[in-house]
Structure 1
């Protein structure tokens, strides 16, 4: 990677024919006729300043007269920006990463009362990404302390978000502008579900549970006596 970047930098800064071809902004050739872009640019800027009474740009026009169009082109600046990014992360690896060991802490399992599991993502180097707002909540329903009709009603309210194979409730939220607000919204939703499950106004005990969303497929039974070589 470094050799490729160095080769491109040498090509961009050399005085060879390839470098002159890359810096087409100096003198653009159309066929065999050379177009004086420097003189035309100054004329156009002066006409623009005169038309819109932009007196402040006259000083900038005088400064442009000393510019020899020897700057890098657009792709050259992109290459230099990528080199700066690589150097920034190399400096972090050399000077900042060794100091992280001082703040390291051993892993400790969460205590028994902490039964809620929240999952979220974070995009490195970018902010305010849509996927960073999403938060997923997982909890074992058996640890919620619901019994009898309360558990039956809670599973009915959860619907397809309840997995009977794992006895797990899974909910996600991404409507708020930050992950913290989505986390709070999930906590409020779970508290509302538990409060409604404990409400004795209607237990919905006559409504059967439906677990077809799990995708359970019964396996076909093949009699062993039909196998070849079986004793008749």
Structure 2
């Protein structure tokens, strides 16, 4: 009842504020059925001379655009925020299903068979690495890393390859023979990949330029690479057949020597020696009297005090 009453009050205020002095009052719209409301509003009552009939446009229910009130009231017919979120999720799911049903099958026309790089006629020396976070937004998702071996680039002489390494600078790791470059200054991976490709093309073009400086007097700087020595297993520690035979013969000699010492009673038993020393010490030291009273525990609590008094 709160919503209809509020709507009636709003309409009453609007009609009271904007009516002219000579304009009579009109009936308010209520929750009365449409046939009764139309009969009441269109037929003036003889007992009330101030009631007038409404215009035809206001009583036309088939035309939703025409309304007697310029300010439509809230009808309590909207869904909640939770319902709207569920509706949006349902619409998104239906959109994905439509895409999977009608658009994804069209990708089969772009299918190409996979050919391993080793079977290509002219394999590319450039190796690209991308980073993905499975649909999640991340600042590093657009990063592209490029690695290549300068010795695999075709059409370069020794002097040109040396110049290319000097132009690359600290991006070259001579221990792995690999040049590593990365880019993440653009928003998409395609832009970063295109930028790295252009940079490599400019480096190769500059290395092949015979009119430019060849940097023959500049040594190749390798101070940025720390080579850690790889420790190998010593050859003298490897178990060969000769070493295994020598170890077996040494074990046999040790066993024979141990058996000979046991037969000659030259093996000292540790347990027998400890027991003999203990027996000798007990015989030498006289037995001291034991103070029995001192060993009794001190009574604690009322119960133990009563027990001790009862014994006395």
What TM-score results when the alignment is normalised by the length of structure 2?
0.41
Q: Provide, for residues 46-82 of structure 1, a one-character-per-residue CA deviation record: whole Å limited to 9, x for no partner.
A: xxxxxxxxxxxxx99822x233164212x33223222
Change in CA separation of 1:126 and 1:62 when aligned onto 2, cut-off 3 Å: farther
1:191 is aligned to 201
- Greater fraction strand: 1
**Within 2, Cα distance between the matches of 1:169 and 1:207?**
18
1:105 is aligned to 112
The alignment status of 1:142 with 2:154, answered yes or no, reads no
Secondary structure (helix, strand or coil) at the match of 1:77 reads helix
**Within 2, Cα distance between the matches of 1:163 and 1:218?**
15
Q: Which deviates the most, 222-231 or 200-209?
A: 222-231
Q: 1:48-59, aligned counterparts within 5 Å? A: none
Secondary structure (helix, strand or coil) at the match of 2:181 reads strand
2:93 is aligned to 86
> How big is the shift at 1:156?
2.6
1:161 is aligned to 171
> How big is the shift at 1:181?
4.5
1:10 is aligned to none
**Within 2, Cα distance between the matches of 1:226 and 1:103?**
59
Q: 1:23-102, aligned counterparts within 5 Å? A: 62-63=71-72, 65-68=73-76, 70-73=78-81, 75-102=82-109
Change in CA separation of 1:66 and 1:132 when aligned onto 2, cut-off 3 Å: same
**Within 1, Cα distance between the matches of 2:97 and 2:148?**
41
On the 8 A contact 2:173/2:179 being kept in 1, the answer is yes
The count of residues paired between Structure 1 and Structure 2 equals 176
Q: Larger Rg: 1 or 2?
A: 2
Q: Which has the higher contact order (CA 8 A, sep 6+)?
A: 1
Structure 2 residues without counterparts, runs of 5 or longer: 11-67, 248-312
Structure 1 residues without counterparts, runs of 5 or longer: 1-26, 28-35, 44-58
Change in CA separation of 1:80 and 1:119 when aligned onto 2, cut-off 3 Å: same
1:210 is aligned to 222
**Within 1, Cα distance between the matches of 2:135 and 2:70?**
38
What TM-score results when the alignment is normalised by the length of structure 1?
0.52
> How big is the shift at 1:90?
2.3
